[in-house]
Chains A and B, each alone.
Chain A
């Protein structure tokens, strides 16, 4: 079984940052492997180690800078990677779900995986939609927000738990081939070992343009246009305790006594 894992490099904002137009300047951004994708990679690698999967391939839509993040996934045990980028992708400041779906479905057409794993969402734009939209596009079955997975490759079924709200899980059987969006906590993502990091250097990251995938620039014409970005107005009317740690702790202790929760 071949597993394709979508891996996104996401930007995280520093505690202090400034918005300039519809973007945050690069100096306030730190780039990292999307947290949810880290769990998806781990799930794929564990399937490989358990002999359920023969190959784990990652795919990323991102500029050359993203290779550092891709190497991290390779160091954790993915076999090889594909990175899709194109000049046409540099312009839109927000890639809509449809664009990502078109690109990823072209990669699926080339790779022909049995299973696609994605993170539930990305920490930056947080659409939470690409996995399920992709499944619809490539006519795979799917499951969203999966927090336990038991593959029955012989039967062609994934037995999953979907994490619903309020401490309830739904048990669902999903026919393969399928796209599963992976929730944090499904496993414990490993740290890349030194050996893994060394090995990752020699693993393949295949760059692909839209043209390579048989797509043209029309594929990235987004229906969504970011028109404004701003820091939300603080609705805070919190009383902030001033002073050093001893003073603030003293005031907090007074509140706890006043509320009657501590004697």
Chain B
């Protein structure tokens, strides 16, 4: 049997979307390999999580009761213990911030080849994974040597599993080495609250690296003023301190769903797209015709924003 062990994720009492995506990815791989899909749910209210995770295609859910929130030392030890018990062919983990905080340690401890941020895979006795490189400009296929494998799957690449399953729920007897738990989560902090809530805006003018320098910000502010839009940005603008954190759209910033999202000088990295792909209409201005933002845009201008934006301002003055 070539079983799959997939690890789920929760935060502050809620299962995260990644948990249901990793079920779909795990089922696909288990079908390819002809094995069962095992889920691990670690820490927190595991019994209630197991109820919700019992979706179509799940064979067994292993609950690991220990602590309330994510702790990478606990996760790593629990997964390693489950691995020893189940001997699965694959360990599947979400390529989330927390996934990346334990998956490499698990793979290293278990001496498994690790492929991260996987967007597709095939198994026919040998494993081939698909992933991107160079900021999503190329896709690659990677042949992985080994009998057992560790993979992290990119968010939103697989649909969330639905339906009601018939999984067995099994409490895993977990006895961690407490001396090896050398990190302590002391709390959470919401960041980015401020005067403006970009997630409420109907029309967002959003800027990225393409605006080049802070001195070009007034040009965009003129456009915002002329159109009555709300200003937002991709990550580098906030990293540079040109706009406050509450303006950031993306995986680590806000999720937005405006009627129109006008992306100016934004290339469309996957982390950014995760925050804005729910916009009704996406319009992109970028001088690189191959920029990934055009893949999800409804309308586009391939051109220099410093030529287009002044003309656009003129249209509304």
| Nearest-CB residue, chain A, relative to B187 | A171
- Report the minimum CB–CB distance from A165 to chain B (whole Å): 5
Contact: B253 with A167, CB < 8 Å? yes
Q: Mark A144-168, 1 if CB is under 8 A from B, else 0.
A: 1100000000000000011111111
Contact: A141 with B182, CB < 8 Å? yes
- Report the minimum CB–CB distance from A44 to chain B (whole Å): 18
| Nearest-CB residue, chain A, relative to B282 | A238
Query: Chain B residues with Cβ under 8 A from A234's Cβ?
Result: 290, 294-295
Most chain B CB atoms below 10 A, which of A131, A161, A231, A236: A236
User: Of A126, A142, A248, which one neighbours B132 at CB under 8 angstroms?
Assistant: A126
Cα distance A129–B235 when bound, in Å? 21
Contact: A13 with B102, CB < 8 Å? no
Q: Does B15 contact A (CB under 8 A)?
A: no
Cα distance A130–B187 when bound, in Å? 26
Task: Please report the total number of A residues contacting B with Cβ < 8 Å.
Answer: 83
- Report the minimum CB–CB distance from B303 to chain A (whole Å): 6
Q: Does A51 contact B (CB under 8 A)?
A: no
Stretch at the interface among A69-77, A83-91, A252-260: A252-260
Query: Chain A residues with Cβ under 8 A from B245's Cβ?
Result: 167
User: Of A19, A123, A170, A235, which one neighbours B138 at CB under 8 angstroms?
Assistant: A19
Q: Mark A227-263, 1 if CB is under 8 A from B, else 0.
A: 1111110111011110001101110110110011111
Contact: B184 with A172, CB < 8 Å? yes
Q: Does B239 contact A (CB under 8 A)?
A: yes
| Nearest-CB residue, chain B, relative to A239 | B299
Contact: A126 with B301, CB < 8 Å? no
Stretch at the interface among B44-52, B142-150, B162-170: B142-150
Contact: A173 with B132, CB < 8 Å? no
| Nearest-CB residue, chain A, relative to B18 | A165
Q: Does A211 contact B (CB under 8 A)?
A: no
- Report the minimum CB–CB distance from A245 to chain B (whole Å): 4
Q: Quick one: given A142-B105, A143-B101, A168-B191, are A124 and B113 in contact (CB under 8 Å)?
A: no
Stretch at the interface among B28-36, B60-68, B307-315: B307-315
Cα distance A157–B300 when bound, in Å? 50
Contact: A144 with B97, CB < 8 Å? yes
Q: Does A184 contact B (CB under 8 A)?
A: yes
CB under 8 Å from chain B, chain A span 25-73: none
User: Of A98, A228, A246, which one neighbours B108 at CB under 8 angstroms?
Assistant: A98
Query: Chain B residues with Cβ under 8 A from A163's Cβ?
Result: 97, 252
Q: Does B190 contact A (CB under 8 A)?
A: yes
Q: Quick one: given A12-B134, A96-B113, A167-B253, are A185 and B191 in contact (CB under 8 Å)?
A: no
CB under 8 Å from chain A, chain B span 113-134: 113-117, 128, 131-134
Stretch at the interface among B84-92, B213-221, B254-262: B254-262
Given A129-B103, A232-B138, A262-B228, 4 additional A-B pairs, CB 8 A? A133-B107, A141-B183, A144-B100, A229-B138
**8 A-B residue pairs with CB within 8 Å:** A24-B138, A97-B108, A164-B98, A168-B11, A170-B188, A235-B296, A250-B315, A262-B203
Question: 3 closest A-B pairs (Cβ-Cβ)?
Answer: A249-B311, A223-B113, A261-B203
